Amino acid sequence: MPMTEDGYDGGPMVEGGWGCIAAALLGVPIFILLLLVDALGDCVPDTACKKGFLTQVLLPAALISIGVGLLVRWVVKTARQNHPD
């Protein structure tokens, strides 16, 4: 946490903000698409069908969003360290 002589000089980090924005911009459409595919996909009668909101929609969308958010956060942090302007 950044400290100065005047006290605490912190707040949201730029890297985290970019990561959250990227995760939301990619995660919401993926979630909606997976939800639509799950809702429209019907099971054939007399077959074992695996449908589930948690495993087929929420978990993949969350994993992709978290991965993208962390990747963008790392890229922005690396770029800021290489070019401190």
Place of tokens 């069908």: 49
The Cα–Cα gap between 19 and 68 comes to 7
Return the pLDDT at 56. 87
| pLDDT over 70 (residue 77) | yes
Return the pLDDT at 82. 86
- The H or E element that residue 4 is part of is strand 3-4
**pTM of the predicted model, to two decimals?**
0.75
**Sequence spans of domains, the chain:** 12-38+50-80
- Which pLDDT tens digit goes with each residue over 13-28? 888 889 999 999 999 9
Place of tokens 């302007």: 85
